[in-house]
Structure 1
Amino acid sequence: MATTGTAPAHLTAAVPPQPRGSASSAPAPTTLIGSVQRAMRLLETVAGHPYGAPAKQLAREAGLALPTTYHLLRTLVHEGYLRRDKGLFFLGEATERLAGSGAQQKRRSTVVGMLARWRDAIGAPVYYAVYREGEIDVVCASDAPVNPAVQEWADFRETGHAHAVGQCLLSQLDEEARRDHLDRYPVHSVTPYTVRDAQSLLRRLEGTRRTEPVIERQEYALGTVCAAIPVTVGTTAATVAISLPVHQVDRLLPAARRLQAEMGRLAGSLTLSISI
């Protein structure tokens, strides 16, 4: 709590006056590294020239001395952040990797945010998965203490035949890709409710409609029911799924329909983010 009044002289003298409008937590100029600032300014200047620019032009536009510019350019080229071609400087592979990683993180954040909104709206854990390079990849899940996610007690990749996420992804593949997956990960009983053999699973997958939720009841985890919504973008198979305790099985299909409607409203963002 703040108090009013005048501090004793021996205390006020020990504290140098602060400039108006400055925060005591703001870094002092002496803590900033000038060479890093200049290098970043130079990178930004190069980025503004997609067809490249010579050192003298970059120095002028970045407000740097020409000798400093040459030194920074040599260093940035050596580290791969810039490349030089016929006297012109361009962004290098290292910079492009940074930009690509940043875009990937942004896409992932978009998906995480969407899952959290759907989790809160539906009152159930929400999962996002893709089929990538022959494998089932549960990219992320969003749950809450009152609605916990299903624990991966048996490897999701090896038990795609048993859970809604895997069945939904497999249903989007062509026959050859499905059989290849099942050759590598044969059908086996995970619970007493798991589909019994590959032929039974294939018949079920062939009868799955592209736009319909895939429903699974206690085939992967006893006491849990799941629904997965297919998401196909180009040749990429993906799915968004929910799970509920078995005593709430009557909620499953209505909740899946609501999830499908929510996904439809954000189809553009979901499509953009499918490659994370």
Structure 2
Amino acid sequence: MIGSVQRALRLLEAVGSHAGGAPAKQLAREAGLPLPTAYHLLRTLTHEGYLRRESGVFVLGAAAERLANGGALQNRRSKITDSLVRWRDSIGVPVYFAVYREGEIEIAGVADTPAAPAVEEWADFRETGHAHAIGQCLLSQLDSDAREDYLDRHPVKAITPYTVRDRRALSERLATTQRMRPVIERQEYALGTVCAAIPLTAGSCAATMAISLPLHQQERLLPAIEQLRGEVGGLLSSLMFSISI
């Protein structure tokens, strides 16, 4: 064990227990440290940005807050991953989680198995939103300006014989998408594959959960996505999705 690190951590814990901060003498006493040692460590932690000194007391600094935020972010991601794995195992299909962030489609999580592999990203998911269920589901949640901006940057083009043929046809399809209903796509992104996605909205963030299956198992697609839709409410109630996911 490195004693100086242990002592510094005890001081950080002591500071964190006081919302309004605390003076050096009190922190030294609570951390069980000699006052000179506490002063030395407090100066070092302040210099590194983990603490700030305000009106004679020490409070947590920006570096400590970044650590806390990073831990919270990792915790959210771990919960999402655990949920995807649980649904993958219970439904028996690959499960995807994606968000629309800063004008782009982002696959934020995938859970699959060797026996039921995820769709291979042979064409960039971010640039082919018109061709897969994830992208179509996210685009259907955007307002017209945001959607047109995306399509201006990533034009509609055929990547399989089944891909939506042009921007007008895509717009007509998105206009008929029923709110909170699954979006179904058959071989538009990858031949031999069918996909379905359900919309998730958390504040201003557009998100989606999706599944995929081989074409010869397409009769399982609707029952599987309905099972996922029935269970996904538990995730929304236990997690706060945000644009930082």
Q: Same fold (TM over 0.5)?
A: yes
Correspondence for 1:112: 81
Moved over 6 A (4+): none
Measure how far apart 1:265 and its partner are.
Answer: 3.3
Measure how far apart 1:274 and its partner are.
Answer: 7.0
- SS, match of residue 191 in structure 1: coil
Measure how far apart 1:129 and its partner are.
Answer: 0.2
2:11 counterpart (21, 25, 42) = 42
Distance 1:79 1:126, change over 3 A: same
Across the aligned residues of Structure 1 and Structure 2, the Cα RMSD in angstroms comes to: 1.1
Residues 188-207 of structure 1: pairs in structure 2 closer than 5 A = 188-207=157-176
Instruction: Output the amino acid matched with 2:52.
Output: R
Q: Give the distance between the partners of 1:63 and 1:274, measured in 2 at CA.
A: 41
Gaps of 5+ in 1: 1-31
What is the CA deviation profile of residues 117-150 of structure 1, one whole-angstrom value per residue up to 9, with x for unaligned ones?
A: 1101111000000000000000110000110000
Instruction: Output the amino acid matched with 2:181.
Output: E
Q: Give the distance between the partners of 1:270 and 1:172, measured in 2 at CA.
A: 20
Correspondence for 1:62: 31
- SS, match of residue 153 in structure 1: coil
Measure how far apart 1:47 and its partner are.
Answer: 0.3
Q: Give the distance between the partners of 2:243 and 2:84, measured in 1 at CA.
A: 13
Q: Give the distance between the partners of 1:266 and 1:137, measured in 2 at CA.
A: 19
Correspondence for 2:207: 238
Q: Give the distance between the partners of 1:223 and 1:205, measured in 2 at CA.
A: 23
Instruction: Output the amino acid matched with 2:81.
Output: V
Instruction: Output the amino acid matched with 2:163.
Output: T
The answer on 1:168 being equivalent to 2:134 is no
Correspondence for 1:136: 105
Measure how far apart 1:266 and its partner are.
Answer: 3.2
Q: Is the CA contact 1:107–1:273 (under 8 Å) kept in the aligned structure 2?
A: no
Q: Give the distance between the partners of 2:135 and 2:176, measured in 1 at CA.
A: 15
Kindly indicate which of the two structures has a greater share of residues assigned to helix.
Answer: 2
Residues 1-276 of structure 1: pairs in structure 2 closer than 5 A = 32-272=1-241, 275-276=244-245
Q: Is the CA contact 1:116–1:142 (under 8 Å) kept in the aligned structure 2?
A: yes
Instruction: Output the amino acid matched with 1:219.
Output: E
TM-score when normalising by structure 1: 0.87
Q: Is the CA contact 2:202–2:241 (under 8 Å) kept in the aligned structure 1?
A: no
Gaps of 5+ in 2: none
Instruction: Output the amino acid matched with 2:65.
Output: E
- SS, match of residue 268 in structure 1: helix
What is the CA deviation profile of residues 15-64 of structure 1, one whole-angstrom value per residue up to 9, with x for unaligned ones?
A: xxxxxxxxxxxxxxxxx111111111011000011101111111111111
- SS, match of residue 129 in structure 2: coil
TM-score when normalising by structure 2: 0.98
- SS, match of residue 126 in structure 2: coil
Q: Give the distance between the partners of 1:136 and 1:158, measured in 2 at CA.
A: 8
Q: Percent identity?
A: 69
- SS, match of residue 120 in structure 2: coil
Q: Is the CA contact 1:129–1:165 (under 8 Å) kept in the aligned structure 2?
A: yes
* Equivalent residue pairs, number: 245
Measure how far apart 1:257 and its partner are.
Answer: 0.4
Q: Give the distance between the partners of 2:2 and 2:241, measured in 1 at CA.
A: 37
Measure how far apart 1:264 and its partner are.
Answer: 2.2
Q: Which stretch of structure 1 is more off in the superposition, 61-70 or 162-171?
A: 61-70
Q: Is the CA contact 2:101–2:243 (under 8 Å) kept in the aligned structure 1?
A: no
What is the CA deviation profile of residues 1-23 of structure 1, one whole-angstrom value per residue up to 9, with x for unaligned ones?
A: xxxxxxxxxxxxxxxxxxxxxxx
Q: Give the distance between the partners of 1:214 and 1:156, measured in 2 at CA.
A: 16
Q: Give the distance between the partners of 1:42 and 1:271, measured in 2 at CA.
A: 31
Q: Is the CA contact 1:110–1:273 (under 8 Å) kept in the aligned structure 2?
A: no
Measure how far apart 1:275 and its partner are.
Answer: 4.2
- SS, match of residue 209 in structure 1: coil
